[in-house]
Amino acid sequence: MERVLMKGNEALAEGAILAGCRGFFGYPITPSSEIAEYMARKMPKIGGVFVQAESELAAINMVYGGASTGARVMTASSSPGLSLKQEGISFISEAELPCLIVNVSRGGPGLGGIQPAQSDYFQATRGGGHGDYHTIVLAPSGSQEMMDFAMEAFELADKYRIPVMIMAEGTLGNIMEPILMREPVTKFSEKPWATTGCRGRKPNIVNTLHLGNEELESRNHQLFNKYQIIKENEKRADAFLVEDAEIVVVAFGIMSRIVKKAVIEARKKGVKAGLVRPVTLWPFPDEHIRTAAKNARLFLSVEISMGQMIQDIQLALAGRVPVEFYGRIGFTPNPEEILQEIMRLAEREGL
């Protein structure tokens, strides 16, 4: 198979198409727009649907409608656009509809800027809209994973009837890397719940209104039973040199690759550093964090934010190991500055 040079955004869009996605509903916004542009070019040629909606609200509700029919559908946006979509995501979560929602994130709050950030971590991992719910959140680290995770996301979405979010920093969406094209998905699961026309059967109804007290509570319990199963099955993380690590750095997305370089350099300087890279941001891989803590004197959370994932690391460690933080906003920190921070902490701790 020939390798192709793709921006993360393009690789993600192509991955979704290979996964059988035939409906894209979106409203363009930097730094995610290449996803919409790619879909606008490709969808009409493959019998798919591309709609540039009148707003983010309209786009997410088109996803709601499209997913109700059992089709593989998606939307993509960037931070402020994701905020606008939260109501729809809450509805889709309650209706248990599989779909892909992409956030190629940038700096906030407010309009913020178009520079890369990871500061939508809370929004992504805590549900984001109203009510008690979660979406599965995957954080790719490069162009190839943008494609692979888009394909994986549709599988997870169908398997658990849950919206799956891919969160990628603006840098990752825009940087070009060579990728290996994957084969298209040809086997799809049955969706007996979908609204596909009810001739010969009882109508399927997609509804998120539950007026009875007990019905409302029992719906929440049903959702949380499902979330428990997802937590048991789907936590994912990669670990690098954590076995004997005294300083464990935690970073996700493209940041994890930059941190890896810093960890390698720190090792050369005699500091026992390691890296845990959460692949799923929800469910958070807390067991991987605890495993990496075996010899750890210190954890360091590196994020392109003011510090959000650090709270999940602290929850996972339950006070057993202190957690430090290093973050930038609107810049992708380079390996040198992370190395400097690791060395500063190592010196302070006498490691």
Partner 1 sequence: MGHVSIFSGAFGSGKTEIALNYALERARQTKYNEVLLADLDTANPYFVARDARGLLGPEGDAVKVIAPVRELAQADVPNLPREIIGLLRTDNDMVLDLAGDKFGALVLGYISKYIRARTHYNMYMVINPYRPFSSNLNEVMELKRLLERAGRIEFNGIISNPNLVEETTLELIKEGHRRVVGFAKELEIPVTYLAVEDKYYQVLYPEYGNDLKSIKLFLRPDWIRGLEEGMKDGEGQG
Min CB(30)–partner 1 separation in Å: 4
CB atoms within 10 A of CB 221: 10
Based on the shown chain and the rule CB under 8 A, indicate whether residue 238 belongs to the binding site for partner 1: yes
Based on the shown chain and the rule CB under 8 A, indicate whether residue 50 belongs to the binding site for partner 1: no
Q: Are 283 and 231 in contact (CB under 8 A)?
A: yes
Stretch that binds partner 1, among 6-14, 66-74, 210-218, 309-317 (CB under 8 A): 6-14
Nearer to partner 1, 108 or 142 (CB): 142
Footprint (CB under 8 A) of partner 1, residues 17-36: 29-31, 33-34
Based on the shown chain and the rule CB under 8 A, indicate whether residue 290 belongs to the binding site for partner 1: no
From residue 19, give the alpha-carbon distance in Å to each of 34, 101, 160, 345: 18, 14, 16, 44
Min CB(218)–partner 1 separation in Å: 33
Nearer to partner 1, 174 or 301 (CB): 174
Nearer to partner 1, 15 or 129 (CB): 15
Cα–Cα distance, 27 to 54 (Å, whole number): 7
Based on the shown chain and the rule CB under 8 A, indicate whether residue 185 belongs to the binding site for partner 1: no
Based on the shown chain and the rule CB under 8 A, indicate whether residue 246 belongs to the binding site for partner 1: no
Q: Which amino acid is at 88?
A: G
Nearer to partner 1, 52 or 195 (CB): 52
Cα–Cα distance, 73 to 48 (Å, whole number): 10
Where on the phi/psi map is residue 322: left (φ > 0), alpha (ψ -120 to 50), or beta?
Answer: beta
Min CB(123)–partner 1 separation in Å: 21
Based on the shown chain and the rule CB under 8 A, indicate whether residue 38 belongs to the binding site for partner 1: yes
Min CB(346)–partner 1 separation in Å: 20
- Reference 112, options 86, 78, 137, 89; nearest CA is 78
Where on the phi/psi map is residue 318: left (φ > 0), alpha (ψ -120 to 50), or beta?
Answer: left
The 237-240 sheet, strands edge to edge = 237-240, 273-278, 247-250, 298-303, 323-327
Nearer to partner 1, 228 or 334 (CB): 334
> Measured in whole angstroms, how far is the alpha carbon of residue 65 from the centre of its chain?
22
Nearer to partner 1, 91 or 252 (CB): 252
Cα–Cα distance, 219 to 50 (Å, whole number): 33
Angle at 171 between CA 166 and CA 176, to 5 degrees: 95
Q: Contacting partner 1 (CB under 8 A), which of 72, 85, 288, 328?
A: 288
Site string for partner 1, 305-324 (x = CB under 8 A): --------------------
Nearer to partner 1, 238 or 246 (CB): 238
CB atoms within 10 A of CB 349: 14
Footprint (CB under 8 A) of partner 1, residues 104-163: 113-115, 140-145
Min CB(13)–partner 1 separation in Å: 9
Stretch that binds partner 1, among 122-130, 197-205, 310-318, 330-338 (CB under 8 A): 330-338
Residue 155, φ and ψ in degrees, nearest 5? -65, -50
Based on the shown chain and the rule CB under 8 A, indicate whether residue 267 belongs to the binding site for partner 1: no
From residue 4, give the alpha-carbon distance in Å to each of 37, 39, 177, 257, 303: 18, 17, 8, 21, 30
Min CB(147)–partner 1 separation in Å: 11
Cα–Cα distance, 49 to 38 (Å, whole number): 12
Q: Give the binding-site size for partner 1 (rule: CB under 8 A).
A: 55
Please list the alpha-helical segments (H only) found in 95-167: 121-125, 143-160
Based on the shown chain and the rule CB under 8 A, indicate whether residue 10 belongs to the binding site for partner 1: yes
| Contact residues for partner 1, defined by CB under 8 A | 2-7, 10, 14, 29-31, 33-34, 37-38, 41, 113-115, 140-145, 170-171, 174-178, 235-243, 256-258, 260-261, 275, 277, 279, 285, 288, 291, 332, 334-335
